Amino acid sequence: MMWQLRWRRKAYWDECTWRPWILTQPGTDFWNMAVMRLVRKSLCIFLAVTVSLAFLVFHVWSPKLYSIVDRGIPEDLLDSSILVSSKKYAHLSVRFKEEVLRLLPKNSCSCELESSLSFPLQTQLLGDSYVIQLSEDIASSDLAELTLLREQEYQNHRLRTQSLADKLIIAKANSPLEYPVQGVEVRPLQTILVPGLRLEDAGQKGYRVHLSATMGTFNVAAVVDNVKVTGEGEMRLSLSSPRLDNLNQQLQFITYTNVVFHPNTADAVQLETDGHQATFVIKIRYAPTLKLYNPGSSGPDYNVSALVSILTKTFLRYDKLRALISSIRRFYPTVSIIIADDNEHPEKVEGPFIEQYFMPFGKGWFAGRNLAISQATTKYFLWVDDDFIFSPRTKVEKLVEVLEKTTLDLVGGAVREITGFSTTFRQKISIQPGGKDGDCLSTRRGHHHGIKGFPNCVVTDGVVNFFLARTDKAMQVGFDPRLRKVAHLEFFIDGLGILHVGSCDDVVVDHASKIKIPWMKSKKEKQYDKFRYPEYADNSIRLKHQLFYFKNRFQCLSGN
């Protein structure tokens, strides 16, 4: 046995000693075995790396249903205003659940990089991570004044937009009062019957109810026997009766009349009886004005020409614009095309169903979007860059169907690059409250969940620069014209909370090639590059950060 082991060791030593010579002799058995081993080893390594990367990408980009936390509760989660128990229950032990506490608002935030494992091609797959403190792009001499002005504007904004309808009101338990919790609405300076008022029998000898308001007066639409009513036409109304049924019958005829004009606010009504008090809200507002669009037909097929306008902005690229129009006309010969043009020496682009609007030279990207959308008269508009090309996969009807059958306001498609890869640029956007220093903006690649009935579509917050949107909702958000050159995601940040956004990867538009040898570029292409990628790009980014700081009241932003 020992002799055999020594012989094997010697044979292995001989093989290792002679391997360099053997490998130089093609056709030998050792040569073939070595090549096969090398191929198998390389294939195994390739599969291992590919599977690992695929698993990691799926883990990062797939929606998370839950997370496991095994650390103690951080101090910043313990907000005393919500976690301190009443003295009445001081004798009871309390066990906090960290996974739930983390979901509660803390009114404090900071932009921090998310810790993750590093892996090959991380930057190529997920992009560069970053954290930016916006105040650093503002001169120190201007920061204090700008911060003060920002706070003043923020408080004024709150006064304009917040009303009593935003106030948390708790209906106390075991109250004999019955009243509407929400859903009562009156138009400015108009009158309604107040629904749902009732008093339960609490064993008292007589029954009394008082109502008071600050923006309206009370009255009764009918009089019930054995009920005493005082304060009719005033902001405080009192009712009393020895009989409960009579009082409840009278409560069915209480009216409220708004007397302080405001197009959109609310009044908090106080309802009282002996030893009990309740509050309910009456909304005061005009009903939103309808804005209906003619769909063009009542059949099962969508009339894209009646529902959609195609919008674009052009600058120094008339050759690409004409190629775009030509590709559109192959599939949609009667759809309106609206062009915003801020060229210094404009060229007329003519054709049926084409509208061209001229702007001051170099007015910019978002200003052009505002102009184009302002001229759209259809229910939806499709935004495209002037260097896109329509193909059989550019199915606008599919995007129309998604918006018609869902509550989405905007749905993006995919852009296929010259390399053959398509991008949807799906972004998840979140804003965390940060107290007096401002809020924290976070953007991450990914989506929230799928859309039932549309297997290739998901819900997200930001999409690629090829999307179909409801015209009125996009106009409600608008495009900041101060963003002239590098801007896109800013529209979706401004629209957070207004726009319901989706993305479908099976509606694809082609992107004209941007790959050109520098010395073969035309004069206009070189001029375009000069404007599109200026030497002073840092100033444009600094302006964007200042807008984030002041206009959006952010203190920092992070993302990938």
Distance from C-alpha of 536 to C-alpha of 540, rounded to nearest angstrom: 7
Task: List the one residue out of 309, 324, 325, 328 whose CA is nearest residue 369.
Answer: 309
Average pLDDT over residues 123-130: 76
Distance from C-alpha of 143 to C-alpha of 149, rounded to nearest angstrom: 10
Torsion of CA 344, 345, 350, 353, to 10 degrees: 10
3-class secondary structure, 213:
coil
pLDDT category at 166 given cuts 50, 70, 90 is confident
pLDDT at 512: 86
pLDDT at 46: 63
Phi, psi of 67, deg, nearest 5: -140, 150
Question: Does the pLDDT value for residue 357 go beyond 80?
Answer: yes
Average pLDDT over residues 320-334: 97
Percentage of residues in the chain having pLDDT higher than 70: 76
Structural domains of the chain sorted by starting position, each given as residue range(s) with its CATH number in brackets: 175-285 (2.60.40), 305-559 (3.90.550.10)
Question: Does the pLDDT value for residue 110 go beyond 90?
Answer: no
> How many CB atoms lie under 10 A from the CB of residue 144?
10
Of 24-28, 364-368, 472-476, the one with minimum mean pLDDT is 24-28
pLDDT at 116: 62
Question: Does the pLDDT value for residue 5 go beyond 50?
Answer: no
Distance from C-alpha of 315 to C-alpha of 366, rounded to nearest angstrom: 13
pLDDT at 496: 96
Residue whose structure tokens are 């205003």: 81
Residue partners of 327: CB distance under 8 A and separation at least 6: 389, 390, 391
Structure token pair of residue 187:
């138009």
Give Cα separations from 47 to 23, 36, 40, 53 (angstroms): 26, 16, 11, 10
Of 13-27, 182-196, 373-387, the one with minimum mean pLDDT is 13-27
Distance from C-alpha of 123 to C-alpha of 494, rounded to nearest angstrom: 27
CB 368 within 8 A of CB 342: yes
DSSP element (H, E) containing 237: strand 236-241
Task: List the one residue out of 341, 336, 349, 423 whose CA is nearest residue 380.
Answer: 336
pLDDT category at 152 given cuts 50, 70, 90 is confident
Percentage of residues in the chain having pLDDT higher than 90: 57
pLDDT at 318: 93
Phi, psi of 344, deg, nearest 5: -70, -40
Of 48-52, 284-288, 442-446, the one with minimum mean pLDDT is 48-52
Of 105-114, 397-406, 428-437, the one with minimum mean pLDDT is 105-114
First to last CA, the chain: 63
pLDDT at 77: 40
Average pLDDT over residues 64-83: 37
Average pLDDT over residues 173-186: 88
pLDDT category at 487 given cuts 50, 70, 90 is confident
Q: What is the DSSP letter of 101?
A: H
Q: In what order do the strands lie in the sheet with 264-273?
A: 184-186, 276-285, 264-273, 207-212, 236-241, 228-230
Q: In what order do the strands lie in the sheet with 254-258?
A: 191-193, 254-258, 216-220
Taking the model in full, what pTM does it have?
0.78
3-state SS record for 143-196: HHHHHHHHHHHHHHHHHHHCCHHHCCCCCCCCCCEECCCCCEEECCCCEEECCC
Q: What angle do CA 429, 433, 434 make, to 5 degrees?
A: 120
pLDDT at 53: 58
Residue partners of 511: CB distance under 8 A and separation at least 6: 385, 387, 388, 389, 415, 416, 417, 418
Question: Does the pLDDT value for residue 21 go beyond 80?
Answer: no
Residue whose structure tokens are 């053997």: 22
Residue partners of 341: CB distance under 8 A and separation at least 6: 313, 314, 315, 349, 356, 357, 358, 359, 368
Question: Does the pLDDT value for residue 135 go beyond 70?
Answer: yes
Structure token pair of residue 323:
């190629």
Distance from C-alpha of 493 to C-alpha of 554, rounded to nearest angstrom: 11
Question: Does the pLDDT value for residue 52 go beyond 50?
Answer: yes
CB-hemisphere CA count at 13 Å for 2?
0
Query: Taking each helix axis from N to C terminus, what angle separates 2-22 and 29-61, rounded to the nearest 10 degrees?
Result: 90
pLDDT at 292: 86
Q: What angle do CA 337, 343, 345 make, to 5 degrees?
A: 115
pLDDT category at 358 given cuts 50, 70, 90 is very high
Q: What is the DSSP letter of 206?
A: S
**pLDDT tens, residue by residue, 271-305:** 999 889 999 999 999 988 888 888 887 778 899 99
Q: What is the residue-averaged pLDDT of the chain?
A: 83
CB-hemisphere CA count at 13 Å for 99?
6
pLDDT at 43: 65
